[in-house]
């Protein structure tokens, strides 16, 4: 039996072959036990619809509000809305919608309808991230934004971050 310590990091190292082989065997046996105890349908349901462990999920998106917060899985994983006391208010399981979006895209090419994930929504989604970054750049201030004029209200120092500074003659 091979014993030892394996030191590796997810971003630069590799799992030693002897450890990988053991992990595969262990995982296979764990699946066999779970399927034997709960049946294949229940096993698939359980592994397919679990929410990530949000605080430790590197691909989560956090939306913080005054009365609670929301976690969204960037690569599927669904979403959950929490009240300020950490109780779940609403949630929805989910996985990536690739097949669904691809089918919808092809259908829209044929019918000339607007797709479910229209590209027009991208700037609005990105705007929230940009405004959060600008808030950080001006000292983590709470900013108010006027959507009609597309400017910050009473925050002239934030305005300079709304557009890039271009070099001449492109400015």
Helix 17-38, helix 40-48: angle, nearest 10 = 120
Using CA atoms, how far apart are residues 82 and 65, in angstroms rounded to an integer? Answer: 10
Residues 33, 39: Cα–Cα separation, whole Å: 10
Is residue 111 assigned to a domain? no
| Domain hosting residue 26, numbered range | 1-45
Q: Based on the structure, what is the number of domains in the chain?
A: 2
Of 27, 45, 63, which residue sits at a domain end? 45
Question: DSSP character for 60?
Answer: E
Question: Is residue 145 included in any domain, yes or no?
Answer: yes
**Cis upstream peptide for 169 (omega within 30°):** yes
Q: Is residue 90 part of a domain?
A: no
What is the bridge-based pairing of β-strands 60-64 and 68-73? antiparallel
Please write the tens of the pLDDT for every residue from 73-114.
Answer: 877 778 899 999 989 999 887 766 667 778 888 999 999 999
Residue at 82 is within a domain: no
pLDDT digits (tens, 9 = 90+) for 24-59: 888 889 889 889 988 888 787 767 656 777 888 888
Give domain status of residue 59, yes or no: no
The answer to whether 97 and 91 have CB atoms below 8 angstroms apart is: no
């Amino acid at each position: 039996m091979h014993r030892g310590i394996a030191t590796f990091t997810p971003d630069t190292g590799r799992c030693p072959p002897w450890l990988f082989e053991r992990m595969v065997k262990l995982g296979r046996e764990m699946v066999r036990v779970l399927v034997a105890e709960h049946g294949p349908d229940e096993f698939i349901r359980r592994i397919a619809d679990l929410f990530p462990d949000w605080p430790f999920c590197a691909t989560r998106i956090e939306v913080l509000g005054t009365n609670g917060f929301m976690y969204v899985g960037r690569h599927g994983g669904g979403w959950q809305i929490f009240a300020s006391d950490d109780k779940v208010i609403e949630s929805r399981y989910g996985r990536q919608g690739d097949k669904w979006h691809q089918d919808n895209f092809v259908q829209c090419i044929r019918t000339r309808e607007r797709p479910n994930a229209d590209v027009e929504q991208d700037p609005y989604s990105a705007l929230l991230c940009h405004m959060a970054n600008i808030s950080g750049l001006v000292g983590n201030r709470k900013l108010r934004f006027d959507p009609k004029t597309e400017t910050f209200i009473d925050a002239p120092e934030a305005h300079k971050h709304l557009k890039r500074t271009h070099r001449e003659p492109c400015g």
